[in-house]
Amino acid sequence: MSNRILIVGLGPGLAEQLTLAAWRAVTQATVLVLRTERHPCVAELLAQWTPPVLQSCDDLYEQHASFADVYTAIVDRVLALAAAHAEVVYAVPGHPTVGEMTTPLLQQRAAEAGIAVEIVGGLSFIAPSFAAVGVDPMDGAQILDAMLLARQYHPLVDVNLPLLLAQVYARWLASDVKL
């Protein structure tokens, strides 16, 4: 395995919330793929360093009807670049292993292609969200994906414990969760 992909977490917000390892990986990248340019820290990062090869995957959200198809297209794009370059940095919001559907798909397909994958962690949305409302998640909090919750007829939610719903990305989804 000579080529490798670094999946880097951009954290939940501003560049000051990036880990040092994530900052270094992104600002030293020669090939950078952003899952989205619509992230609060991207402009500051790109002001520090614009890599020779820079691509965003925002266009794929408009080209495909389902998230599954978008994720497959993103992975295809990253793997194509990884086949042509020694190292590709793929930057995602938050932490690469928290709610990031492209990470396991990319890990699986890269292994099949003989391309190494490394995870460079980032702060996920979880800790800042609980801190903002003064709740220690270790005291029995619940974290659920809104899409999964909305599909359940009788969701198993303990109303006595704090609940953090992730990925509420549209009004219709918020409405479905409420119902």
What is the per-residue pLDDT for 74?
A: 98
Q: Residue 125 is encoded by which pair of tokens?
A: 């949305």
d(CA 71, CA 80): 14
* Neighbouring residues of 166: CB distance < 8 A, sequence distance ≥ 6: 99, 125, 143, 144, 145, 146
d(CA 101, CA 77): 15
What is the per-residue pLDDT for 150?
A: 86
What would the pLDDT profile of 2-23 be if each residue is shown by its tens digit? 799 999 999 999 999 999 999 9
Q: Which range, of 46-50, 58-62, 102-106, 114-118, averages the lowest pLDDT?
A: 46-50
Q: Which range, of 5-14, 68-77, 134-143, 154-163, averages the lowest pLDDT?
A: 154-163
Whether 95 shows a pLDDT value over 80: the answer reads yes
What would the pLDDT profile of 100-135 be if each residue is shown by its tens digit? 999 999 999 999 999 999 999 999 999 999 999 999
Asked whether 83 and 3 are in contact (CB, 8 A), the reply is: yes
What is the per-residue pLDDT for 152?
A: 83
What is the per-residue pLDDT for 169?
A: 85
What is the per-residue pLDDT for 148?
A: 87
What is the per-residue pLDDT for 177?
A: 86
- Which CA distances in Å does 115 have to 35, 47, 71, 75? 19, 30, 18, 13
* Neighbouring residues of 63: CB distance < 8 A, sequence distance ≥ 6: 73
What is the per-residue pLDDT for 50?
A: 85
Exposed, middle or buried: residue 66 (CB in 10 Å: 0-12, 13-18, 19+)?
exposed
